[in-house]
Structure 1
């Protein structure tokens, strides 16, 4: 596995900013995605392997809103196929997420049978 980890000194330097936990969470989530993609591809970054299914093809930026603040993630892209982290929800608008009938006033508070 390659050294994708942030140096400890860099994390400790960010501790003074008040963003230490957010930075650690960002690094952990990024490492989880990289490890997940390594398993999906069948090889780590820059590793030659006969079992390799596809290759990496850059990243796309995505913000994840958490209680710690907004995490800026770099989601790996693949040349063939796609990867989307299972812990992230696909972006959907509010209107697509909720059916039209449930948005009418009074229906959200009503209970079946009562």
Structure 2
């Protein structure tokens, strides 16, 4: 049996797979941050619990290869 990494590296769709993984991970993080702050990105709310404070970049090593992520930061909490 061929392992996943060898299969992905031989495929012409390896970049597409990494982009899909990165897209899904970033959107899940955005949903989680929206729940923690009490408001979505750019939304004005009096119920806001925290504020966003830019992003930090991180390379995530997956079986499909390295995926570049932008992780949202909060001013309070983590």
- What TM-score do the two structures reach when normalised by structure 1? 0.55
Unaligned runs of 5+ in 2: 1-11
- Conservation of the 8 A alpha-carbon contact between 2:14 and 2:64: no
1:1-114 matches, cutoff 5 A: 18-82=14-78
Total equivalences in the alignment:
67
Unaligned runs of 5+ in 1: 1-15, 83-114
Larger relative contact order, structure 1 or 2 (CA cutoff 8 Å, min sep 6): 2
Deviations 1:49-81 (A, max 9, x none): 121001100011111111110111111011122
Q: Which structure dedicates a bigger proportion of its chain to helix?
A: 2
- The alpha-carbon deviation at position 21 of structure 1 amounts to 0.7
C-alpha RMSD of matched pairs (Å): 1.3
Q: Distance in 1 between matches of 2:77 and 2:40?
A: 17
SS at match of 2:54: strand
- Conservation of the 8 A alpha-carbon contact between 2:56 and 2:72: yes
- The alpha-carbon deviation at position 47 of structure 1 amounts to 0.5
Q: Distance in 1 between matches of 2:22 and 2:77?
A: 25
- What TM-score do the two structures reach when normalised by structure 2? 0.79
Q: Distance in 1 between matches of 2:32 and 2:42?
A: 16
- Conservation of the 8 A alpha-carbon contact between 2:58 and 2:71: yes
CA radius of gyration, larger in = 1
